[in-house]
Structure 1
Amino acid sequence: MNANPFAVVTGASTGIGFELAKCCAHDGYDLLICADEPEIEQAAEALRDETVAVETLMADLGTREGTAALCEAIADRPVDALLANAGRGLGDAFLDEDLDKAVDVIDLNVVSTIALIHDVGRQMRARGSGKILITGSVAGFMPGSFQAVYNGTKAFLDSFSWALRNELKERGVTVTCLMPGPTETEFFNRAGMQDTKIGSSDDKDDPAKVARQGYEAMEEGVSGVTVGFMNKVQTTFAGIIPDSVLAEMHRRMAEPQ
């Protein structure tokens, strides 16, 4: 029997998700990694070695069928760490967005995340052990002008993670929220935000650094981690500065030029 712990990482083909999977593999976790694109196979090849098993699942977790497929792939195997990282963004003014695409963001970022955690979290609670990492965002602390749906989903995840952590505090299961700021990934290209100040900025965080801090926080069982000094400043002042001012600040970063 393989004695390695078992981790599930979503959104693991590139960016923060891939780097989280790399952290797990480095520490001896067998992996089930999932994404909605064929690059997940390339990610698996980069992660495999003679001591770590890596399984892949290409599925759109923004659909009930995709989430069900991942739960079926996990089956009855004990999950030691669930890293719920899959998510997408969407730029532009809300009324100018395609409504179906906006709903897709909610389905992936929120509906799929809580469905997966509901399934895996129950087995962790029954076993009395497990670690859950949820990728939220500092965006959840700001009204997201020109990114309204995405910021709203991250506000939900940030809040949800602390609530779930409290519910599980005496059950042997820890919940950690990773709250990155702008990070050098495919996020802004996929969200159609290349023509924004934030999307074109060269001052984004390194996904490997973001993932490492999130992974270490999960392993230590702490409640949450915000990566980067300015991101920490932003979250600190978010509760002090009026929402109307925060919304205007976000507009300057995210409005198409």
Structure 2
Amino acid sequence: MRKNNETVLITGASSGFGLEFVKLFSQDGYNLILVARHQNELERIAEAIRIKHPECFITVIAKDLSQPGSAEALYAEIKEKDLEVDVLINNAGFGTHGLFVATELEKEQKMMHLNILTLVELTKLCLKDMVRRNKGKILQLASTVSFMPVPKMAVYAASKAFVLSFTEALQEELKNTEVTMTALCPGAGDTEFFERANAEDTHIVQDTGLSDPAKVAKDGYDALMKGDKRIVSGTKNKIQAFMSNFVPDSLLAKGMAGMMDEK
């Protein structure tokens, strides 16, 4: 039975945290706008959701959000379909591993576009509508690396620091509205992230317990629904985030450099 008739836009919906968000929102009867790069994968996921939750209206839009103009094109397509975004999950993002002098600039440019520019653009476009209606929720995917410098993932960590700072500034701007914005800060998760970043052999992957994507998404979902400003998922990550307030950045960077070394 449908619990509401609202629509959620989820970017990076085909895997990892994004796929877990798809499951959570469909369980609560939301209509879904699913966005990722590959049409076939999205259609497969949509079909599985329709079988389990036939009451959900699902729109699939295949788009590479690391490309210039992609956010505006996505928003235009949503408007053309006469859809209204009640909840935005800015989940899409990726990283790259290696010394900054050796990594590919083009890949980092695409990463910055996706992790920062697309997130800002989709927030701007959807937030204007939400503020006009005085109703809406946005979840921004930050990270525990938002709190510290990370050698061998320098650009990625900096992009997530941007997301957290950006989100906290907008939370203050939105304080007199009924629109809420939540920053989700997960640690290293058991997703395709490290494989895509060519970091699957690092100490952080091999020697630490990776977070369950379903648990991370549930933490983020619950915080979003309560209107919380920030949620750090996992006890270990909460401690790490708290300690970052007291440990000098130089020591944090040294520690993270060791975690990013290959075994």
Indicate the TM-score class for this superposition, using the shorter chain for normalisation.
over 0.9
**SS class of match (1:94):** coil
The 10-residue stretch of structure 1 (32-41 or 180-189) with the greater mean CA deviation from structure 2:
32-41
Partner of 1:193: 199
Partner of 1:28: 29
Q: Deviations over 1:77-100 (max 9, x none)?
A: 331110110000110011110111
The 10-residue stretch of structure 1 (47-56 or 68-77) with the greater mean CA deviation from structure 2:
68-77
Q: Deviations over 1:43-79 (max 9, x none)?
A: 2222223100111111111113321221022215331
Partner of 1:70: 74
Q: Does 1:55 align with 2:59?
A: yes
Q: Does 1:17 align with 2:18?
A: yes
User: How many pairs are equivalent?
Assistant: 256
- Would you say the 8 A contact 1:31–1:52 is kept in 2? yes
Q: Distance in 1 between matches of 2:33 and 2:127?
A: 16
Q: Residue 221 of structure 2 is aligned with which of 215, 221, 225?
A: 215
Paired letter, 1:53: F
Q: Deviations over 1:130-167 (max 9, x none)?
A: 00000100011110111000000000001111111110
Aligned-residue offset at 1:169: 1.2
Q: Does 1:42 align with 2:48?
A: no
Partner of 1:161: 167
Q: Distance in 1 between matches of 2:208 and 2:36?
A: 26
Matches of residues 239-250 of structure 1 in structure 2 within 5 Å? 239-250=245-256
Q: Residue 147 of structure 2 is aligned with which of 118, 141, 146?
A: 141
**SS class of match (1:225):** strand
Aligned-residue offset at 1:252: 0.8
Aligned-residue offset at 1:202: 5.9
Q: Does 1:100 align with 2:106?
A: yes
Structure 2: which 5+ residue stretches go unaligned? Answer: none
| TM-score (norm: length of structure 1) | 0.96
Partner of 1:254: 260
Structure 1: which 5+ residue stretches go unaligned? Answer: none
Q: Deviations over 1:157-184 (max 9, x none)?
A: 0111111111011121000001000110
Query: Structure 1 residues 202, 246: CA separation in 2 closer, same or farther (over 3 Å shift)?
Result: closer
Q: CA RMSD in A?
A: 1.4
Q: Percent identity?
A: 38
Q: Deviations over 1:13-45 (max 9, x none)?
A: 001011011111111100001011242222222
| TM-score (norm: length of structure 2) | 0.94
